[in-house]
């Protein structure tokens, strides 16, 4: 993506909710080289921040509701979480959690778009978000999969003011024209039980090698390494607990 730091409206953080936190730490350490640091405070409930060098790049934590699937969640930066939460509901979305303070680090909201895709709002205070983007092992793209692209476009441009660029088969989201993500329409190829969702993509040096590493570490490849026409080489993977994410070759000239 063409953003290299958290900015209002752009993706700023990525969190994994998992049923086996220790196994997830091992898997992503092997895949991305992450160094995990668990918050020792009792109220943090095992919240763990993953680092590359000194930069925070992602978080891993337990499932707070046992009936929820293991999944990655994307957070978008906002200047006022309360105002943005009202915009979500006024635009036809829902706010099942928050706004709420998270220690002194920021203010947090869990939201649903009109199609049911979950995302988060983050008003940073002492913690603005990830300290690294687009480098191997860090977040580099986010993609909305939805069954109602027209309504999704109206919703997200209303809530965040995103710019929209499009080609014949792909819509790209941007902040002031700086693209950070895209949108795919879920057609009949997607089983009806698969809900709309945001899919994060992590940059890697070698998509094929990372896919092999993920499989050898107990994960699986939902989409084998593929070279996108006029785009990067990508793959879609699933970790051993079932959370789905993508990888793409870092350094591609279009950002993803």
Contacts of 102 (CB under 8 A, 6+ apart): 108
**Which tokens is 111 given?**
């939201």
How far apart (Å, rounded) are the C-alpha atoms in residues 9 and 165?
Answer: 16
Cite the residue boundaries of each domain of the chain with CATH code 3.10.180.10. Answer: 11-124, 139-249
> Does the bond joining 154 to the residue before it have cis omega, within 30 degrees of 0?
no
pTM beyond 0.85, yes or no:
yes
pLDDT at 253: 46
Average pLDDT over the chain, rounded to an integer: 93
How far apart (Å, rounded) are the C-alpha atoms in residues 182 and 255?
Answer: 11
* Residue range 192-199: mean pLDDT, rounded: 94
DSSP assignment of 54-109, as one string?
TEEEEEEEE-SSTTSPPEEEEEEE-S-HHHHHHHHHHTT-EEEEEEEEETTTEEEE
Q: What is the CATH number assigned to the segment(s) 11-124?
A: 3.10.180.10
Query: pLDDT of 24-37, one tens digit each?
Result: 999 999 999 999 98
pLDDT at 167: 74
* Residue range 231-244: mean pLDDT, rounded: 95
Residue of higher predicted confidence among 252 and 217:
217
Q: What CATH topology corresponds to 139-249?
A: 2,3-Dihydroxybiphenyl 1,2-Dioxygenase; domain 1 (3.10.180)
- CA 18, 145, 157: angle at the middle one, nearest 5? 110
């Amino acid at each position: 993506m063409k953003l290299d730091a958290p900015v209002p409206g752009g993706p700023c953080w990525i969190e994994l909710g998992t049923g086996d936190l220790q196994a997830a730490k091992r898997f992503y350490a092997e895949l991305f080289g992450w160094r995990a640091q668990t918050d020792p405070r009792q109220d943090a409930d095992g919240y763990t921040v993953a680092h590359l060098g000194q930069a925070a790049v992602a978080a891993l934590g337990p499932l707070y509701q046992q009936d929820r699937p293991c999944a990655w969640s994307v957070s978008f930066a906002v200047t006022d979480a309360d105002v943005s939460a009202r915009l979500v509901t006024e635009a036809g979305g829902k706010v099942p959690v928050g706004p709420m303070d998270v220690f002194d680090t920021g203010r947090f909201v869990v939201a649903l778009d009109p199609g049911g895709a979950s995302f988060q709002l983050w008003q940073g205070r002492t913690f603005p978000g990830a300290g690294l983007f687009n480098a191997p092992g860090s977040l580099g793209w986010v993609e909305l999969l939805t069954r109602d692209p027209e309504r999704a476009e109206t919703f997200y441009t209303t809530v965040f003011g995103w710019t929209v660029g499009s080609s014949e088969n792909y819509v790209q989201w941007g902040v002031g024209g700086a693209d950070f993500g895209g949108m795919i329409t879920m057609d009949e190829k997607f089983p009806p039980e698969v809900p709309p969702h945001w899919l994060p993509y992590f940059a890697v040096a070698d998509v094929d090698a990372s896919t092999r590493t993920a499989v050898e570490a107990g994960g699986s490849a939902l989409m084998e390494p593929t070279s996108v026409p006029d785009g990067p080489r990508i793959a879609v993977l699933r970790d051993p607990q079932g959370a789905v994410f993508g990888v793409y070759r870092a350094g591609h000239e279009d950002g993803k």
